[in-house]
Amino acid sequence: MNEPLFQASNLIYQANLTYDRLRIEKGKINFIVGESGSGKSTLLKLINHSISPASGELLYNGKPIEDYDPITLRREVSLVSQEPFLFDESVLGNFKTFYSLRQIPLPDIEYINHITDLCLVNVPLDQNASTLSGGERQRVYISIFLSFSPKVLLLDEPTSALDEKTSFKVMKNITDFCKENDIEMIIVSHDKDIVDEFSENKIEIVKKG
């Protein structure tokens, strides 16, 4: 059996947020499912090491996550949180700002257009982000993180603000892009249809207590 991308055993964040044993596979679209409050988002934060467990072991590529430099790890294992944040400037301005924060040069406009098209960002790039709808903000937000082409992409409820048709299209485009570019995917979703359609490895988290 291949070495898993992430592997956890007896992972405890808080008394009611524990993960006994889980395997996240390489080269597969991993979905994390479970009822609300079961700790799906918490697991993603543990995986990008923006929080630490109280005890237990979490391995990334076979190595304890504590052994990685946290900043490098977060750039490599990129978490797109549920709540989009965009700066109060144009969509393109947001790309510029995010890239300058990461201190890497802005990719060419064709690439940005390509990525935003994938995410169905159907507004002009010079439109101000503060005028976007919830669903548009979410798609712009995802497209910025996707454009960095991380090694692992963690998506927390990526379709929560989207209608069913758009959700399927966006998910199809993103999963295709990730497969083409060898980006590993771990997705938290409570949308059963999305999970059934795209999941290649379903990890179920059970609520405790």
Supply 43's token pair.
């697991």
Please state the φ and ψ torsions of residue 186, each to the nearest 5 degrees.
-130, 120
Query: x/- binding map, residues 149-188, to other proteins, per CB under 8 A?
Result: ----------------------------------------
Classify residue 149 as exposed, middle or buried by CB count within 10 Å of its CB (0-12, 13-18, 19+).
middle
Alpha-carbon distances of 15 from 6, 34, 41, 48, rounded to whole Å: 22, 17, 16, 21
Per CB under 8 A, does 14 bind other proteins? no
Q: Do the beta carbons of residue 13 and residue 183 sit within 8 Å?
A: no
Per-residue interface string for the shown chain with other proteins, residues 98-137, x marking contact by CB under 8 A = x--xx-----------------------------------
Q: Which of 83, 126, 176, 204 binds other proteins (CB under 8 A)?
A: 83
- Residues 10 and 57 sit within 8 Å (Cβ to Cβ): yes
Does 43 engage in binding with other proteins (CB under 8 A)? no
Nearer to other proteins, 27 or 64 (CB): 64
Nearer to other proteins, 106 or 168 (CB): 106
Q: Are strands 29-33 and 184-188 parallel, antiparallel or unpaired?
A: parallel
Q: Quick one: 83 or 196, whose CB is closer to other proteins?
A: 83
Residue 57 touching other proteins (CB under 8 A): no
How large is the C-alpha radius of gyration of the chain? Answer: 17
**From the CB of 45, what's the least distance to other proteins, in Å?**
9
Applying the rule CB under 8 A, the residues between 85 and 104 that interact with other proteins are 85, 98, 101-102
Residue from 43, 42, 80, 50 nearest 68 by CA:
50
66 binds other proteins (CB under 8 A): yes
* Closer CB to other proteins, 31 or 145, in the complex: 145
Among residues 55, 28, 56, 33, the alpha carbon closest in space to that of 44 is found at 33
Closest CA to 13 of 42, 48, 50: 42
Binds other proteins by CB under 8 A, chosen from 48, 138, 159, 175: 48
Q: Which of 51, 54, 109, 206 binds other proteins (CB under 8 A)?
A: 51
**Rule CB under 8 A: is residue 81 a binding residue for other proteins?**
yes
Residues that bind other proteins (CB under 8 A): 48-52, 66, 70-75, 78-81, 83-85, 98, 101-102, 145
